[in-house]
Amino acid sequence: MGAAAERAKAENEEWAGVTPDAARRLVGAAVQAFAERGYHATTTRDIAGRAGMSPAALYIHYKTKEELLYRISGIGHEKALRIMGAAAEAGGTATERLADAVRTFARWHAEHHTTARVIQYELQALSTEHYAEITGLRRRTDRLLRGIIQDGADGGEFLVDDVPGTTLAVLSLCVDVARWFTADGPRTPDEVGALYADLVLRMVGARVTDKNG
């Protein structure tokens, strides 16, 4: 299986929850198009074309183009929230949980940079109601990360002056991976995750136990 085929398969699995098949193909096509050109520069004809359909077929599965973006945003942000939740609720020290959170969160933004770019940078195109709903998911993700950092600061593992500010910076750092990451760059998603986990542990003043300790 070639690299392109593998990527297509991974992208298909990402939207496994979307049925029927045509609706899933449309979501995949929309993510690609939105990530490449942006929401407003993408036409419904383009999306339908990529999914192998006529423009009219799109409207059987989605009421509007904005609904497609909303569905993508919802699924993507829920996945991001689950990743952060898994790390926050795992056992271990605050240092271990923070490293795990940043490693998996940053890695996901690299591996799924197409989806991540759409859900992080095209939010403003959502309707007011949908925007508010998605913002709620992001606030929950933020709270989980802040909880880990607060734990570490309270327990003396971390040396942090400004917990909300540091949380914001860490989240910002991970999210922005979606902007610059490309599959043909020099770094794999795993490497990005490892690098970022290391950098963030330094940011919070955690004692690093590897070669830099």
Partner DNA sequence: CGCGTCGCTAAGCGCTTGCTCAGCAACGCG
Partner DNA sequence: CGCGTTGCTGAGCAAGCGCTTAGCGACGCG
Binding site residues, DNA, CB under 7 A: 20, 22, 42-45, 48, 52-57, 59-61, 63-66
Given the rule CB under 8 A, which of 9-17, 22-30, 61-69, 162-170 is the region that contacts a copy of itself?
162-170
Cα–Cα distance, 188 to 179 (Å, whole number):
15
Q: Does 209 bind a copy of itself (CB under 8 A)?
A: no
Q: Does 47 bind a copy of itself (CB under 8 A)?
A: no
Cα–Cα distance, 174 to 201 (Å, whole number):
13
SS (HEC) of 72-98: HHHHHHHHHHHHHHHHHHCCCCHHHHH
In eight-state DSSP terms, residue 207 is: P
Q: Does 7 bind a copy of itself (CB under 8 A)?
A: no
- Tell me the backbone φ, ψ of residue 122, rounded to 5 degrees: -115, 15
Closer residue to DNA in complex, CB, 71/97: 71
Tokens read off for 59: 């409207």
* DSSP-based three-state secondary structure for 49: helix
Residue 132 interacts with which of DNA, a copy of itself, none, CB < 5 to 8 Å by class? none
Q: Which residues bind a copy of itself (CB under 8 A)?
A: 37-38, 40-41, 121, 124-125, 159, 161-162, 165-166, 168-169, 172-173, 175-177, 179-180, 187, 195-196, 198-199, 202-205, 212
